[in-house]
Amino acid sequence: MKILFLVGATSRIRNFDHTILELADHGHVLQLAGRLRKGVFELPGSVRHERVSGRVNPTRRSDEWDEFVDLLRGARDYVRYFDPRYAQATRFRAAGYQAAADEIIHIRESVSEVRSSRRKLTIPVLVVTGGQGADENWRRLQRDQASLSERGCLMIAQQSGHVVSIDQPDVVVGAIRTVVETARGHDVPLCTRSGPAGS
């Protein structure tokens, strides 16, 4: 069987890599289509297989439906796995998919709540973001998040996509340790050239 798998950003492919490889191992041919990132479309190494290929998705809306369609596209690959037939399709638990769906469904409410509660903080805030696959809008939002505190810092995990905890777990562990040490009153810099202090 030939399967066309549409995905908004290649960083999301890792959520389905186990399923994609399972299908390819069983003889199916998969073509993954997504958006260009920084002028290129490249499949992650986690789905390298002779029967898996990638191509640019040529469709992109620029009308009043644009925002809604983006939310729908982000949700569609999660929703199919709510069907009991797919209970063992990936290594993620159902709760993970429910959380992802809830995030997409309630995104506008969440944005509104964040905007209305915005204030300058004095606590340590260390924002960890992946260095691969993000566009300039995402980078701007991450910088803005770090600027919420006078003790804020943006830390970029250069070898990571959207899920830093999977790509570079040591960076996340180091960030947590740094914030804990800071909260305990130890004089450690939030960010250093190589990452969080102590990493």
Taking each helix axis from N to C terminus, what angle separates 94-105 and 66-79, rounded to the nearest 10 degrees? Answer: 170
Q: Do strands 2-6 and 191-192 pair parallel, antiparallel, or not at all (unpaired)?
A: unpaired
Cα distance between residue 107 and residue 57, in whole Å: 24
Question: Domain boundaries in the chain?
Answer: 2-107, 119-196
Predicted confidence at residue 127, as pLDDT, reads 92
C-beta separation of 183 from 164 below 8 A: no
For position 76, what pLDDT does the model report? 57
Beta strands in the chain (DSSP E): 2-6, 29-34, 52-56, 121-130, 149-157, 191-192, 195-196
Gyration radius from the chain CA atoms: 19
Cβ atoms of 33 and 43 within 8 Å: the answer is no
Give the integer Cα–Cα distance in Å for 177 and 33: 39
Predicted local distance difference test score (pLDDT) of residue 41: 72
pLDDT value, residue 195 = 47
Query: What pTM does this model have?
Result: 0.47
- For residues 111 and 98, what is the distance between their CA atoms, to the nearest angstrom? 19
Q: How far apart are CA 161 and CA 167, in angstroms?
A: 7
Per-residue H/E/C for 28-86 = CEEEEEECCECCECCCCHHHCCCCEEEEECCCCCCCCCHHHHHHHHHHHHHHHHHCHHH
Q: For every one of its 199 residues, what pLDDT tens digit does the chain have, with 9 covering 90 and above?
A: 888 887 767 777 777 888 888 889 999 998 888 777 666 777 888 888 999 998 887 655 566 666 656 666 555 555 555 666 666 655 555 556 666 667 777 778 887 887 788 888 888 889 999 888 777 877 888 888 889 888 889 999 988 887 788 888 899 999 999 888 888 888 888 776 444 544 4
pLDDT of residue 198: 42
Pairwise CA distance, residues 132 & 152, whole Å: 22
Structure tokens at 2: 């030939």
- pLDDT value of position 164: 86
Cβ atoms of 34 and 41 within 8 Å: the answer is yes
